[in-house]
Amino acid sequence: MRSHNLKTQCVFVSVLCFTLANSSSASEWDQLILNGYQQAYNLDHNVAITTFERAVKLEPNNPASYRGIASALWLRLLFSRGNVLVDNYLIGSFKGPEVNPKDVPKDIDLRFQEYINRAIELAETALTEAPDDPDAHYELGMSVGLLASYRASIRGESLRAVLAAKRAYNSHRRVLELDPSRDDAKFLVGVYRYIVSVMPRVFRLIARLVGFDGGKNEAMAMVTAAASHPGNSQAEAQFALVLLLNREREYAQARKILKLLMKDYPKNRLVWLELASTWLRDNRPAMAELTLTHGFRRLQGDDRVRMFGEGPLWHLKRGTARASLGLYAGAQNDLMRAAKGPGAVWVSGRAHLELGKIADLAGDRTLARSYYSRGRNLCDDANDRRCKRESNRLRNTPFRGQ
């Protein structure tokens, strides 16, 4: 892609420009991009934005510089809303958490649009000059794919998100046609194919009519390949793979990826929370409790800004693990804190469900039913169907233990 960044310094000739890409300036730019994504996935979003801004100054005609800023802004918004964890995409439905576009700060929204539009414009210019350049197609796909994610997760614009996703999908399919060895281009193609594969049959047919392919096994293989490919999109592919593996109940494989992420992003305390959650889904509360013990130490030693609802979520996970281990006093303390919030509605709903179980085991059926009723209502509001069903069942039939 460097050929398009140096077009003011040389006539467009691929070999010559790729040679120029090895200059000291190019090396400095590469390091800035690498540092920016390291900082973003270590939860230092503002520092990452500053780093990407330096990359823009160094190579103002490179779409990846602008895309970096847009990515960091998007991640910061998701973090501020508490919508960055696997739970957010497993509770209720695969489409992810509900969003309210009115909550988007106008200055951040405008800034995101400015940078992502510039990235798309530069990638399109590169394609005009070299229609068969896989790097140009890759940059266009990544930029348009980021726009699709932003529209869906931040603005709640489903139709516009699908249109952008379709363009991103086509761009990266073209990359793979031009260069089948580009495993990094398999990420978006694989994710979109997986989403199609888990849709209801009618929606799968519609998706295929508009040009999306399905195939769960093929999709998982593609995302796995992308997660193993070194590059600036590897972390995004790894976090996405953790989500897909949890959804497929491949918990051991998910934990392997999370342990790699712990090493690569040691300042990201949320990876510890993700690992504990994966242990819990695998019915391994002792390992979850041990992981949370280490995670709480990191949380307490980290004075950076917290994700929305982060404290209650930590307490929900530890309270759930402790209750499963029979450590009811500590569990009750954690769950009461989780139930009070402030945080996501489903966190409070599940905390009430667990408190009801503890009350049942203590012989207080009246208190237990009260917790179950409150939990059922909260989980219904959060579209947490599993929690709602369990609360209804236990309201009629007392909990007797695991």
Q: Are residues 2 and 138 in the same domain?
A: yes
- Residue among 160, 169, 149 nearest 95 (CA): 149
Residue 388 included in any domain: yes
**Pure H helices in 133-200:** 134-150, 158-178, 186-197
Q: Which of 96, 129, 157 is the last residue of a domain?
A: 157
Q: Both tokens of residue 387?
A: 């929690």
Domain that holds residue 24: 1-157
Tell me which residue has tokens 């602008």: 66
Q: Is residue 371 within 8 Å of residue 352, measured between CB atoms?
A: yes
Please check whether residue 275 lies inside any domain of the structure: yes
Residues near 381 by beta carbon (within 8 Å), at least 6 away in sequence:
345, 349
22 and 151 fall within a common domain: yes
In a domain, 58, yes or no: yes
Q: Are residues 147 and 4 in the same domain?
A: yes
Q: Examine residue 80 and state whether it is found in any structural domain, yes or no.
A: yes
Beta carbons within 10 angstroms of residue 267's beta carbon: 14
Domain co-membership, 276 together with 144: no
pLDDT tens, position by position, for the chain (402 residues)?
Answer: 444 443 333 333 333 333 334 445 669 999 999 999 999 999 999 999 999 999 999 999 999 999 999 999 999 999 999 999 999 989 854 444 556 666 789 999 999 999 999 999 999 999 999 999 999 999 999 999 999 999 999 999 988 999 999 999 999 999 999 999 999 999 999 999 999 998 888 887 888 877 888 889 999 999 999 999 999 999 999 999 999 999 999 999 999 999 999 999 999 999 999 999 999 999 999 999 999 999 999 999 999 999 999 999 999 999 999 999 999 999 999 999 999 999 999 999 999 999 999 999 999 999 999 999 999 999 999 999 999 999 999 999 999 987
CA distances 15 to 122, 124, 176, Å, are 20, 20, 21
pTM for this entry = 0.89
pLDDT at res. 209 = 76
Taking the CA atoms of 22, 26, 29 and 33 in sequence, report the sign of the dihedral they define: negative
Task: Please give the tally of structural domains in the chain.
Answer: 2
DSSP conformation letters of 276-337: HHHHHHTT-HHHHHHHHHHHHHHHHT--SPPPTTHHHHHHHHHHHHHHHTT-HHHHHHHHHH
Query: Do residues 142 and 273 share a domain?
Result: no
Residue 9 sits in the same domain as residue 134: yes
Q: What is the CATH number of the domain that holds 305?
A: 1.25.40.10
Residue 232 lies in a domain: no
Tell me the helices (H) and strands (E) count for the chain, helix number first. 21, 0
Determine, yes or no, domain membership for 63. yes
Residue 205, CA distances (Å) to 196, 209, 217, 293, 352 in order: 9, 6, 18, 47, 40
Q: For residue 62, give the amino acid letter.
A: N
Q: What six digits make up the tokens of 27?
A: 């090396």
CA distance 369 to 362: 13
State which of 99, 132, 157 marks the end of a domain. 157
- 283 and 142 within one domain: no
| CATH code for position 67 | 1.25.40
pLDDT value at residue 11: 33
Give the model's pLDDT for residue 330: 97
For 9, phi then psi, to 5°, come to: -105, -15
Domain boundary among 108, 141, 157: 157
Separation CA 322–CA 333 (nearest Å): 10
What is the rounded distance in angstroms from the CA atom of residue 221 to the CA atom of residue 225? 6
The answer to whether residues 16 and 149 belong to one domain is yes
Q: Does a structural domain hold residue 180?
A: no
DSSP characters for 360-398?
A: HHTT-HHHHHHHHHHHHHHHHHTT-HHHHHHHHHHHHS-
Q: Which two three-digit tokens encode residue 184?
A: 């990094």
At which residue do the structure tokens 């993700």 appear? 274
Q: Could you tell me if residue 195 is inside a domain?
A: no
Spacing of C-alpha 68 from chain mean position:
16
Helix, strand, or coil (residue 346): helix
Extract the tokens encoding 157: 């614009």
Cα 326 to Cα 116, 329, 352: the distances in Å are 51, 9, 17
Task: Tell me, yes or no, whether 1 and 143 share the same domain.
Answer: yes
